[in-house]
Amino acid sequence: MTGAHAKGRTIAVVSSKRQIRVGDVLIGGGAPVAVQTMTKTETANLPETMAQIHRVAEAGADLVRVAVPRNEDVEALKTIVRDSPIPIIADIHFNHTLAIKAIEAGAHCIRLNPGNIGGPEKVAEVVATAKQYEVPIRVGVNSGSLPKHLREMEFTDPVGALVAAAEETVALMESLDFGDFKVSMKSTSVPNTIASNRLLSQRIDYPLHLGVTEAGTKWTGSLKSAVGLGTLLADGIGDTVRISLSTFHAEEEVKVAFEILKALKLREKGPVLIACPTCGRLQFDMDSVVQEVEHRLQAYDDPIEVSVLGCAVNGIGEARHADFGITGAKDAGMIFSKGEPLKKVKTSELVDELFKEIDRYYASGKQVLRNEAEAAEATQWLSENEDLSAMTPERLAQMEKDKAAEQADTLAAEAEVAEKAFVDESSSPTAGRRFSRSA
């Protein structure tokens, strides 16, 4: 097992041992977790499909899947593969001929569920073509379409049934001397998705594609996916993900996927916005401010961290990691960087001034430019607005640190006294001259 590295800080990751390549994207074997989505257009509608592919690529998708249920979709696939900025996966069900044609049309990968493609002979025909064109396959099993002999088991042991179906699929691929594949097990149940992938990841070393199938609307689907996929990814399981959301805007799936990966420090994609939850101390319209900051940050690619605090009562220590931040009150607020005040500004100008500072930072080659007079004014404002008696986590941590330092000083002083009291006989003027009662 290998450790996968993303830019910036990483968490311990154990990805699949084997690696495959879809177009120019590496999957598994320590590669960063790949984000994929699926177009929601009729594939043969080229203008619509290509527009959506460009939008998802712009949002950061590494791979995109298109449904190929008809011959006209295969025809369209040729153009899509040629013009797409990211690799294309052709999604095939029930018809092995379409799978073969999709490979011949240039698809970078095909997705099929061997259980619904018409038997092992037909799977073998597809695999033979995939070998010839060196095209990988995503093989999958769905809780809703398990092979007949596992359907009884599904009622008593749904996780065991899913894993058994996946292992049978892997065995079929291996019997065809084909190893260029990744595996997915899809379930609408989050606990079953977690349990089955945990189990399968211990039994096979092929890359795993993760997804909670039919997860729901943007709200519920994002949460279910964050719990299901986030749990697995935090365990180091999963090489590629797709967030399935009931929306026609596939780019939303990509954004949610990146938020999950960013939260786990597995991928970096654009700025990270931190905002307090607000409370009764708030004195300005922070909802609008956060929305505006979030919107304007979309124009930046760098993984800069920006914090929005509703007030300065707790100081700015909680946001000391942020590259830039703002905190406001009724009439005035402050811009800060890495926990240090930069500038006091009117609350109504907080957002504009924040972005001026961010732009100055980039214009000067990522230097925080500090004007001492402005910083002093901001520090003064902060001292008037923060509540120094508030027991913030930072202040508690500082108190513990001070106490530990104090204890360390005491111990050092005691050790010094003890050392002075200790008589080193070899250097003592009375060395060798022991006195005893008998002497």
Residues that bind ligand SF4 (CB under 6 A): 276-279, 281-282, 309-311, 313-314
CB closer to ligand SF4, 115 vs 315: 315
CB closer to ligand SF4, 162 vs 311: 311
Quote the crossing angle between the two packed helices 158-175 and 148-156, to the nearest 10°.
150
Other beta carbons within 10 Å of 220? 12
Tokens linked to 50: 């290509």
Beta bridge partners of 90: 66, 110
What region does 273 belong to: left with phi over 0, alpha with psi -120 to 50, or beta? Answer: beta
CB closer to ligand SF4, 270 vs 310: 310
Local structure of 331: helix, strand or coil: coil
Burial of 372 (0-12, 13-18, 19+ CB in 10 A): exposed
- Please state the closest distance from residue 327 (CB atom) to ligand SF4, in A: 7
- Please state the closest distance from residue 255 (CB atom) to ligand SF4, in A: 25
CB closer to ligand SF4, 264 vs 289: 289
Beta bridge partners of 334: 327, 344
- Please state the closest distance from residue 265 (CB atom) to ligand SF4, in A: 24
- Please state the closest distance from residue 275 (CB atom) to ligand SF4, in A: 8
CB closer to ligand SF4, 97 vs 278: 278
- Please state the closest distance from residue 368 (CB atom) to ligand SF4, in A: 22
DSSP string, 129-197: HHHHHT--EEEEEEGGG--HHHHHHHHH-HHHHHHHHHHHHHHHHHHTT---EEEEEEBS-HHHHHHHH
Contacts of 157 (CB under 8 A, 6+ apart): none
Give the Cα separation of 204 and 373 in Å (integer): 62
- Please state the closest distance from residue 282 (CB atom) to ligand SF4, in A: 4
Listing from the earlier edge strand, what are the strands of the sheet with 272-275? 272-275, 305-309, 324-328, 332-337, 340-346
Other beta carbons within 10 Å of 79? 15
Tokens linked to 61: 């998708």
CB closer to ligand SF4, 66 vs 309: 309
- Please state the closest distance from residue 305 (CB atom) to ligand SF4, in A: 16
- Please state the closest distance from residue 277 (CB atom) to ligand SF4, in A: 5
CB closer to ligand SF4, 291 vs 410: 291
- Please state the closest distance from residue 263 (CB atom) to ligand SF4, in A: 20
CB closer to ligand SF4, 197 vs 314: 314
Quote the crossing angle between the two packed helices 218-234 and 250-263, to the nearest 10°.
40
Q: What count of residues does the chain have?
A: 439
